[in-house]
Structure 1
Amino acid sequence: MPVSEPDGPVRPVAAAVARYAGLAGAVLLAVAGWLGGALPGAPDNTSLPEIWRAPYGPVVLGCWLVGTALLVGAWWSLRWGAPSTRWAYLTAGLWLLPLLAAPPLGSRDVYSYACQGWSWTHGADPYRVGVAAAGCPWTDTVSPIWRDTPAPYGPVFVLLAGLAVLLGGGLTGAVVLLRVLAVAGVLLAALCLPGLAGAVGVPARRAAWLALACPLVGVHLVAGAHNDAVGLGLLLFGLLVLVRRPGKPPTLLLAGVLLGLAVAVKAFAVVVLPFAALAAVLGRYTVRALLRDAGWLAGGVVATLAVTSLAAGLGLGWVAGLAHSGESQQWTSPPTAVGFVIDYVGGLFGREPHAVPVVRVVALALLAVLLLMLWWRAWTDLRRLGDVRQRVARLAAARPRVALAGAGLALAATVLLAPVFHPWYAAWPLALLAVATLSVARAVWFVAPCAVASCLTLPDGSNLARFTKAPGAIVMTGIVVAVVVWAIRVGLARRAR
């Protein structure tokens, strides 16, 4: 794929090649979906040979691999930025058209959503019982691992899933409406990106391209109809409200409601709230100002969570449901991969350490420390900015940049250190870092992992991690070790200065 120049205009030929190569890739992915995607009656294949021997197996795999390569390559080739913001929106929309016409791709989670909505509308508590025990008539369409697992999503999404089931009149109608919700979430995010990027000083053409043209958005958020699309759209909307009018009580309450809705869709959005509190402050950053402005924001969040929990009639059961989200074990989660490798090493000496649960707990403790460090760094940076005499424009851009960058890094740390990682999770930090990263060179460090994550699934929802457990765990552990060594060396170098 052609590559645009980092600091110059994108060549028209390069842009045209990228646009139509990506479109060809999206068409091939849609073809793979119809021939072997996550259709309701498709079998749950447990090995690559079974997928290969399935009807149209070679064609499905060929279309999927080539289509993914074209789509990822086209996105990567313009990582420095599209020719214009309008061009970025039009191209991302063009790529979505074939995927909108495809069946669910890359995951069977949308069937879980439909069954959870059915369970709620028929009087069952989706936070206490799995969809099989609730008697959902579409249980066979759900991946076996999730049939007996309570819902790990917030009350807002359970309400939306229930509404989709009631209005859809059946499985197909419910899936279509859930995809409509996902598209609405992506559109909401798209509307917020220019405002957030402009507040920070990042070119909107680059932010829009990175956040919207990423294959994770088309394949997983739209075609896969993941609820992350709704949560991400609400999150960006809430942050945009804060960035536009900080310090105003009505605005802070509205932003709190939007952020509360995002948390009530996908709970890990909660890590953004401390950084949103920083964006809420108007004037000098003092503890008093933080408590004053963040108090209004927190009031909106808490009220929203309370109202939606009561509206669903399920109380706080959704908090307990989060504990079941870690039942899947795949090497794509760095803590899980490290636990696998420890178990492999223990097996060589005749021992069974069962290290995965322990490493996951350690990772969560490390995450808590990292989140505190990231927030404290953002707080001190903002206080320093307020104490130094600067041009107003520079200070106005620095405030949202520090808050949004901190929120993006917090989401990235949460995604990487969580017990489970699914490719579409990466869309959350990608969107925030795309609007908060000034340096195009620094953008590569979070763009590259998203490109890799885009290649981890097959059209029927099979995760390649299922077929590469041992080698994947070893490679991931090697990356973890390399990152730890690099971080230690950087820390020692800074202390030596």
Structure 2
Amino acid sequence: MTAPGATLSRYAGLTGATLLAVAAHLGGALPDAVPLGVTPLSIWRAPHGPATLTCWLAGTVLLVAAWWSLRGGAPSTRWAYVTAGLWTLPLLVAPPMGSRDVYSYACQGWTYAHGADPYAVGVAAAGCPWVETVAPIWRDTPAPYGPVFVLLAALAVHLGGGLTGTLVLLRVTAVAGLLLAALCLPPLARAGGVPPRRAVWLLLACPLVGVHLVAGAHNDAVMLGLLLCGLLVAVRRPGRPAALLLAGALLGLAVTVKATAVVVVPFAALAAVRGPNTVRALSRDGGWLAGGLLGAVLVTSALSGLGFGWIGGLTRSGDSEQWTSPPTAVGFVVDYAGELVGRNPQAVPLTRAVALLLLAAVLVVLWCRTLRAARDVHPPERPRVALHGAAMALVATVVLSPVFHPWYATWPLALLALTVTRTTWFVLPVAAAAFLALPDGTNLARFTKAPGALTMTALLLTALLLTARPRAARPRAARRPPR
């Protein structure tokens, strides 16, 4: 029997999702909504502006509160699936909302389908007929996505027959990625040592998933589906060459959708080892996994005819500067401090570069620690250790990347939901990220640059100080009994 509180959360979230869908119909990321508002006041003065923002705020509050209330776990796995599905229904039939990236996908697919290289020219230069729907900042930049997603976008253009049909098929593709992820969650949660009902709830019912991965049709959904599927095969069939080749191929396909997935691969290799975790065993089983990954990357790059041009496109993803990225926020603060003494340091490129170097070092340290931990546990517990290491690698990637958009938080969320007992520390920032975007795709970080940068820098310094405290001075957390 379902508790009354859970039932209340279910229908509060459904009401919130419905209000968000109404906001999208009134003032979402519609094709004729460009350019975006210059100030919040201009958005308020837009047609249906007050109704749009009221529905958006009320819907977001209800959806976030309902998700937060059951962060410890839904009543059952089936209940979590059904509720997440109910919340998805209004968003599934809503116009694009929260960002305009889906129009970039459509134009990049059109560019490739019409014989041009989306890694060499922007969608404006390629002559995409829908270029006016693309956010101005991305009209002249090459595609930063891998060849698999470019092929999927081109297929959507070919079958869609027009902009509306293309958008529908891109959303279907995103939902297919989420369905694949949904199938993988319960067995991965058991491998990670957490209740499946909690893992399913934390990921699938997350407001960022409904708004940005379903309604916004972000390709992160496809990446996550392939990533979780590859991890599941590695966890379920360690030491078996055919299975590890398949796992590597799935991970390779995830990388050729969005390159971020590559940080998970070394940890997947640890989960792939069967028996004693020796150097020889890791080289053998990890080699099969790497072979499958390299094969998938090489084959898709060759068959698409695009080669590795997509790697160069990644360098332009940092064209957007927002304080929601900690390295960028620190750069802003250094610039503000320089202006006080009559200087113009232009520190953002430097702080971003330092952060990327730091990220590389952190990933190496995380992998070495995970390797040691995997050697200290029994083989059945190794998947939990490897999955947790992969989750922390994605946390580090999001925190230290030069750009952060709200939907990026779904990357670490997917793996943290599988491995971590205490949820508040990562659920809280995910909930906060749900309030960063407006339905037309406007990011509120654009209007809060100075206070946002100062706040983010202060939070970063606080986190560093807490981390640097001597272990003896830290209060020991009481152990929670396993659920």
**If the TM-score is normalised by the length of the shorter chain, which range does it land in?**
over 0.9
Q: Which residue is 1:417 aligned to?
A: 400
C-alpha distance after superposition, 1:126-146 (max 9, x if no partner): 111110011101000000000
For residue 443 of structure 1, the aligned residue among 417, 420, 423 is: 423
1:85 to 2:77 alignment: yes
| Counterpart in the other structure of 1:428 | 411
TM (norm. structure 2) is 0.97
The residue type paired with residue 28 of structure 2 is G
1:37 pairs, out of 28, 32, 38, with 28
Q: Structure 2 CA distance, aligned partners of 1:227 and 1:11? A: 35
For residues 35-434 of structure 1, the aligned pairs below 5 Å read 35-43=26-34, 44-386=36-378, 395-396=379-380, 398-434=381-417
Specify the code of the residue in structure 1 equivalent to 2:12. A
How far apart are the structure 2 equivalents of 1:483 and 1:400? 28
- CA deviation profile, 1:281-329 (whole Å, cap 9, x unmatched): 0001111100000000000000100010011111110111111111100
Give the paired residue count: 473
Partner of 1:24: 15
Q: Secondary structure at the match of 2:128?
A: coil
CA shift for structure 1 position 164: 0.3
Of 430, 444, 454 in structure 2, the residue corresponding to residue 474 of structure 1 is 454
Shift of 1:12: 1.0
- Secondary structure of the residue aligned to 2:423 is helix
| Uncovered stretches (5+) of structure 2, i.e. residues with no partner | 475-483
Please report how far the alpha carbon of residue 492 of structure 1 lies from its aligned counterpart in structure 2 after TM superposition. Answer: 7.9
Q: Which amino acid aligns with 2:463?
A: V
Q: Which amino acid is the alignment partner of residue 417 of structure 1?
A: L
| d(CA) in 1 for partners of 2:303, 2:164 | 26
CA shift for structure 1 position 490? 4.2
Structure 1 outlier segments of 4+, above 4 Å: 490-494
Q: CA deviation at 1:192?
A: 0.2
Q: Given residue 301 of structure 2, which amino acid in structure 1 is its aligned partner?
A: S
Q: Structure 1 residues 197-206 or 314-323, which shifts more?
A: 197-206
SS at match of 1:136: coil
Distance of 1:257 and 1:491 partners within structure 2: 42
Superposition deviation, residue 47 in structure 1: 1.1
Deviation string for 1:70-93 (max 9, x for gaps)? Answer: 000000000010000000000000
Q: In structure 1, give the amino acid aligned to 2:382.
A: R
Q: Which residue of 1 aligns with 2:479?
A: none
What residue identity is the alignment partner of 1:17?
L
AA at the equivalent of 1:402:
V
The one-letter code matched in structure 1 to 2:22 is V
Shift of 1:21: 0.4
Could you tell me which residue of structure 2 aligns to residue 389 of structure 1?
none
Query: Structure 1 length normalisation: TM-score?
Result: 0.94
One-letter amino acid matched to 1:467: F
Q: Which consecutive unaligned segments of at least 5 residues does structure 1 have?
A: 1-9, 387-394
Distance in 2 (alpha carbons) for counterparts of 1:81 and 1:40: 39
Partner deviation per Cα, 1:474-494 (whole Å, 9 max, x = no partner): 100000110111111146859
Distance 2:123 2:72 in 1: 45
Per the TM alignment, residue 200 of structure 1 is displaced from its structure 2 partner at its CA by: 2.4
Q: How far did 1:157 drift?
A: 0.2
**In structure 2, what residue type is equivalent to 1:314?**
L
Q: Kindly provide the amino acid, as one letter, of the partner of residue 40 in structure 1.
A: P
- 2:399 aligned partner, one-letter code: L
Distance 1:96 1:295 in 2: 40
* Residue 184 (structure 1) shift: 0.2
Shift of 1:452: 0.7
**Secondary structure of the structure 1 residue equivalent to 2:129:** coil
